Structure 1
């Protein structure tokens, strides 16, 4: 949201008036107003137990009971905004996944989505993350599982052997982020041409200036685009 402060004529945005963007952004040319937002400080701490949510407490208590080596498999567990996220080491991903799917007290039968995230300043040094959203239709619960890998070794096990719905989700993440899912039955680009160089959703990928071959046009870099302020 953007406010126009009245100018000399008493008209918003009139002579002598000025622009006041949302969230305190001023004079940035950012029409979204998000320039004044301050990102939270990143931490690697787990949330305190109990989480204060019956479903989240039940899921993690059950997982601890049926998976005795959970302390070695999970780096941290975070409960925020009503959602439980388990950060799993890639070496133990398949073991944890099968337990989440098969144990009667968990029964996360459906992988509803799997996507990638790039955190160049990740405190662990592992910038590439896979975020998996699971649904238990039996218990009507949701769970997020997150795994991170370094750019120098972007490999992790494919979840297609546990949840077949991971198939095209992993192909898209491989294409756009460069995460390699070992054991995937047909890992190949799904969005970009086979000979495309780079992975467009990484934070260090150049914005604009890329030829659009099917139209013979070119996307201009962001700093040369029109400003609306």
Structure 2
């Protein structure tokens, strides 16, 4: 689906997001500003299930390959949507800056993203504006930092996990 206009062919766009392909799967590159509109449009198109949402830290790969017009940032939020009726998948990638690591929450569109967004916040430090309970989900509440960031110090300190009830 191309939204390009004029006599010269432009880049393929879906709901205003640039399109690329990765291993046979359509990938949309949304901006932070258009992220919610792109996801909402896809939901209206029949992508009724969010099967994954995660954050990626590209600290060691700032010059990675991206389509023309997409500026690489340190973090990226990746969302995989599924249309059960059409039997199709689509991936949405949005670049997130290190200085302001935040995007809009998808909880209002896909309530199942509640835990996924909390995990991305807890482990990578990406904030999801509008999330109903953006608190830690895996690490203790008093944990400092976000352990899956590439610059997180290993430090050889014993890991303290949340208390789990013993079944013995």
When the two structures are superposed, what TM-score results if normalisation uses the length of structure 1?
Answer: 0.59
Q: CA deviation at 1:208?
A: 5.1
RMSD: 2.0
Q: CA deviation at 1:77?
A: 2.2
For residues 1-229 of structure 1, the aligned pairs below 5 Å read 61=1, 64=3, 73-74=16-17, 76-102=18-44, 106-120=45-59, 121-123=61-63, 124-207=71-154, 209-213=156-160
Distance (Å, rounded) in 2 between the aligned partners of 1:80 and 1:72: 19
Q: CA deviation at 1:148?
A: 1.3
Distance (Å, rounded) in 2 between the aligned partners of 1:166 and 1:185: 11
User: Unaligned regions of 5+ residues in structure 2, if any?
Assistant: 5-12, 64-70, 162-168
Structure with higher Rg: it is 1
Q: CA deviation at 1:85?
A: 1.0
User: Unaligned regions of 5+ residues in structure 1, if any?
Assistant: 1-60, 215-229
Q: Is the 8 A contact 1:73 1:89 kept in 2?
A: no
Whose helix fraction is larger, Structure 1's or Structure 2's? Answer: 1
When the two structures are superposed, what TM-score results if normalisation uses the length of structure 2?
Answer: 0.79
Question: Paired residues, what number?
Answer: 145
